[in-house]
Each structure stands twice: as structure tokens, then as C-alpha cells.
Amino acid sequence: MAKVKCQMSISLDGFAAGANQGEEHPLGEGGESLHEWLVKLPSFNEAHGRPGEGEGADNPSDAVFREAAQNTGATVMGRNMFGPVRGEWGDSDWRGWWGEEPPFHSPVYVLTHHEREPLEMQGGTTFHFVTEGVERAVELARESAGERDVAIGGGAATVQQCLRAGLLDELLINIAPALLGDGERLLDGLGGLDASFEPLRAVAGPEATHLLYRVAR
């Protein structure tokens, strides 16, 4: 059955992004260390249109990423994950961080307070801009995805919104063994959240540890 899932990479001290995020540092200062384990994997390279590239097909992290990414029919993300532009879109020609053929290959619903026409990219990705909040974005994504899953792409604030709204079914936390010391924590300000997290799986790769939880109200 289709589910709403999310996978995020965090540092050992819990940050999903370092300090001072912006065009120069999309993941904040030091944030690239959160994905070092990932970007070299065959499954990641395949998802990004580079089949056969990468190393570590026998790395347990490769199977974890492959499974997490499969069967995704639509994605919801926060505006800051889409790009560094803030406020009104105006005549911004920002088309995402991912070039002309983004790795989503399906509809992406971007949360924003400012309306913007959909942006059709190559390879099946269309960015839709949703101004009616995260519940509506997930509803639209579910409709698009049909029997496939909806992925919550991030960032941290969007994941927190989904948790508060009870929208998430599964959370995969990839812990990179780095300490950032500052930035945006994945799980912050969630004391008293009416949700339970059931540990489903734990996998230690050589460069990251993966924790899969079922989330329920």
C-alpha cells in the first residue's frame, strides 16, 4: 500500500544541515559531510542518470538507499530545499538545484507562500508550487502517486511539519558520523508530539548508519 515516507541524512549530533545555508552552501557549512556516504553509491548514481557509476555495490548502504528510493510516485519538499530564493518569486528563473533533468522523474510539490506556475523539467519531473500548506501538498502528491509512495524530500522544517500533522508513515534516518555543532536539527521542537516511532531496522554501513522507523499516531 502506498505510504508517505521520508529519508534524511543527519550528523551524529542531529543536524540535517549546517549553519548558513544559501546558494554557496545548499546544505549549510559542513553539510556536504552528511552525504559523503551517499554520493559514491551505485544506487545514487543510477538515480541521478549515471548508471554503472559509483562504487560499493556490496556496501549495505547501497541496498538501503535503493530500497528507500524505489516505488516513489511523487515528492513533497520545502521551498528552501528547492532553492535559495526567498520571498516573492518575481522574475526568478531558479529551476532547482538539480539541472534540467532532476532525479525525481515524477511530480514534485514545493511548499511556498508565493504562487508560481508549474515548471516542467526533462525526464518526467514537474515542480508544482503549493500555497495551501503541507496537508494539501501531500494530498496532491498522493493523488499523483496513485499506488506508489509519496516521498517527503525535506528539509528539516518540512519533515517537522509532516510529523506534527501526522502525515508520515515511515522515517529513515541516515546518520553520517560527522559532528556539525550548529545548523538545523532534523528533530527539533517536537516535545510532546503525539506520535510513536517503532524501530523497524538498523543497518551499519561503513560510512553511515541507517535507522528505519514506522511512525504512527
- Nearest distance from residue 76's CB to its own copies, in Å? 22
C-alpha span between 109 and 129 (Å, rounded): 6
- Which of the residues 26 through 55 are near its own copies (CB under 8 A)? 30
- Which of the residues 106 through 165 are near its own copies (CB under 8 A)? none
Binds its own copies by CB under 8 A, chosen from 87, 90, 146, 191: 191
> Quick one: which H or E segment has residue 9?
strand 4-11
- Nearest distance from residue 187's CB to its own copies, in Å? 4
- Nearest distance from residue 20's CB to its own copies, in Å? 13
Residues 79/110, Cβ–Cβ less than 8 Å = yes
Which residue pairs from 112-116 have beta carbons closer than 8 angstroms and sit at least 24 positions apart in sequence?
A: 112/79, 112/82, 114/87, 114/88, 114/89, 115/89, 116/89
- Nearest distance from residue 147's CB to its own copies, in Å? 28
Helix (H, G, I), strand (E, B) or coil at 8: strand
Total of residues contacting its own copies (CB under 8 A):
38
State the residues that interact with its own copies by CB under 8 A.
12-14, 30, 175, 177-182, 185, 187-193, 195-213
